[in-house]
Amino acid sequence: MHGEPIGTLLEWSKSTNSEGSSTVITRPGPPPCIAALPRATAMPHPDASRAKRSREAIPRQYRLPALVLLIAFNALAAQQASGQATGAYNAQAPRPWNQNPNGMHVYIWAGLKSHFAGQHDYPQFLADWSKLLTEHGAVVDGALHGPGGGVLDHTDVVILYKGDAGYLSDDEKAALEAFVKRGGGLVSIHDSLCGPDPAYFATLVGGAKKHGEVNYTLGAPIPYTVVDTASPIMKSMSNFTLFDEAFYNMTWAQNPGIHVLATAVIPGTPSAGAHKGEVVPQIWTYEHTTPGGKPARAFVWMQGHEYANFSNYQIQQMLLRGIAWAANKPVDTLIDYVPPPPAHVQPPGTAQ
């Protein structure tokens, strides 16, 4: 029976003969359970009845305009909902209350950690100085890679603290050259000025050294002599000695050349060899103009091998002034910044 179409199923019924016995009579047709289906499905749904009464309540001549209005209303509602969603997506996140929206824009180009513990800690510099510069009124961005996506369009100064920053990809080289051409400032710290083409990199920061050559002292006492005591950058600097690393065998920019702020006598280390006793610039400024561009500035501090020296008060004050100078801002902009009072007051005894 399962293989037969419904139309050929036999309908089962009973009849009683005159003797009271039942006889089963068959005829083509669906069984009672199937035959009952048309009666059940033919019953109108309550919602359908209400919809029909609602349609009948609207005069025929108004039904089409009402439909048009309904469609227009739904389209408008959908458009408003989409606009609200887009507006929420594009909304700018609120700026933290302790940041200065009008500060100089700084990009810290750091790199991966190298050398021994406490040395060449580029990621730690990115963390520490992004906080420090923010506290001194700067607007800070940065990463362990070069800036992309038009970041430099709104940057005043780029701080380079990474190993061998002179190795530039074509895109990085083009971005830096365009940045300098429009007057952007550069700050180079320690071996950021090392690379394969020191003559080229010297055109950006005033001096550079070639990677792969022995042109460093390794860790040693570095005695500073402040050459330009009148420079506002060196206002907090005195002649003192710190344990770090100095460079020699430098390639210098010409016409214009660098302006020396401080020198050091190369100490007698195994790597220094015959260069022991040479007097080499270690802190300088560099001002130049690329063809068709605006005047640009660079500030260089050749130490930073030992990360602890970034906490030295004289070094820190000098760096803050050098960064501001390179950004073509008043030299004490970062030093003198006073943050506004907080937008909210923390209740006493509560944690931040």
CA distance 120 to 305: 6
Other Cβ atoms less than 10 A from the Cβ of 202: the count is: 23
Dihedral sign for Cα 306, 310, 314, 317, please.
positive
Q: With the C-alpha atoms ordered 136, 140, 144, 147, is the resulting torsion angle positive or negative?
A: negative
Q: What is the pLDDT of residue 83?
A: 61
The CA distance from 110 to 165, in Å, is 9
Contact partners, residue 178, CB within 8 Å, separation at least 6:
152
The position carrying tokens 């513990």 is: 117
Please, which residues bridge with residue 283 across strands? 262, 301
Residue 115: predicted pLDDT: 82
Q: What is the DSSP letter of 102?
A: T
**Residue 74's pLDDT is what?**
72
Q: Which residue has the tokens 């190993």?
A: 163
How do strand 157-161 and strand 220-226 relate by DSSP bridges?
unpaired
- pLDDT at residue 307 in the model: 96
The phi-psi region of residue 115 (left if phi > 0; otherwise alpha if psi is between -120 and 50; otherwise beta) is left
* Stated pTM of the model: 0.72
The string of DSSP letters for 287-307 reads: EEE-TTS-EEEEEEE---SBG
Q: Are the beta carbons of 149 and 179 closer than 8 angstroms?
A: no
Task: Tell me, rounded to whole angstroms, the distance of Cα 260 from its chain centroid.
Answer: 35
* pLDDT 10s digits, 233-259: 999 899 999 999 999 999 999 999 999
* Count, residues in the chain: 352
**Of 264, 241, 246, nearest in space to 315 by CA:** 241
pLDDT for the residue numbered 180: 97
3-state DSSP call for residue 216? strand
**Short-list 290, 337, 327, 319, CA closest to 156:** 327
Cβ atoms 99, 301 nearer than 8 A: no
Dump pLDDT digits (tens) for 162-181: 988 888 999 999 999 999 99
Sequence-separated (6 or more) residues with CB below 8 Å from residue 242: 221, 222, 224, 303, 306, 309, 312, 315
Residue 340: the pLDDT is 80
Residues in the chain, pLDDT under 50: 1-42
Sign, Cα dihedral of 64, 68, 69, 71: positive
| pLDDT, tens only, 136-166 | 999 999 999 988 778 899 999 999 999 888 8
- pLDDT computed for residue 305 by the predictor: 94
Locate tokens 């001194």: which residue?
A: 136
Q: CA Rg, the chain, in Å?
A: 40
